[in-house]
Amino acid sequence: MIVRIVKMQFKPEEIQNFVEHFEGIKEKVRFQPGCHKVKLLQDYNNVGVFFTYSHWESEEDLNNYRNTDFFKEVWKDTKKMFDAKPEAWSVHEVIDM
């Protein structure tokens, strides 16, 4: 299992647009082959900062998704709303309680 965390910071005027955009695509992301879970998290103190948190069966499944036309289109649309360069990590759980 691989967990993908992506940090994104949005322009203040784009925050609501992004939330609505994510609402419209969340199920299509969630039901990609190998995806087990998708969450959207918002920073408590900085409302322009969001994190996507997704669980994938394997790195291959994640990479297959990242190579889809769907992902490329979503990412192209999302990048237009950024206020800072995104950051991403692929991690695995060591301890889960």
Report residue 17 as tokens: 């647009």
Position 71 scores a pLDDT of 97
Please enumerate in sequence order all residues whose Cβ is within 8 A of that of 3, keeping only pairs 6 or more positions apart, or say none: 53, 54, 55, 56, 90, 91, 92, 93
Q: Tell me, what's the pLDDT at 13?
A: 98
pLDDT score recorded for residue 45: 97
pTM of the model: 0.93
Per-residue pLDDT of the chain in tens (97 residues, 90 and over written 9): 999 999 999 999 999 999 999 999 999 999 999 999 999 999 999 999 999 999 999 999 999 999 999 999 999 999 999 999 999 999 999 998 8
Tell me what pLDDT residue 97 has.
85
Q: What pLDDT shows up at residue 4?
A: 98
For each of the domains in the chain, give its residue range(s) and CATH number, in order of start. Answer: 2-91 (3.30.70.100)
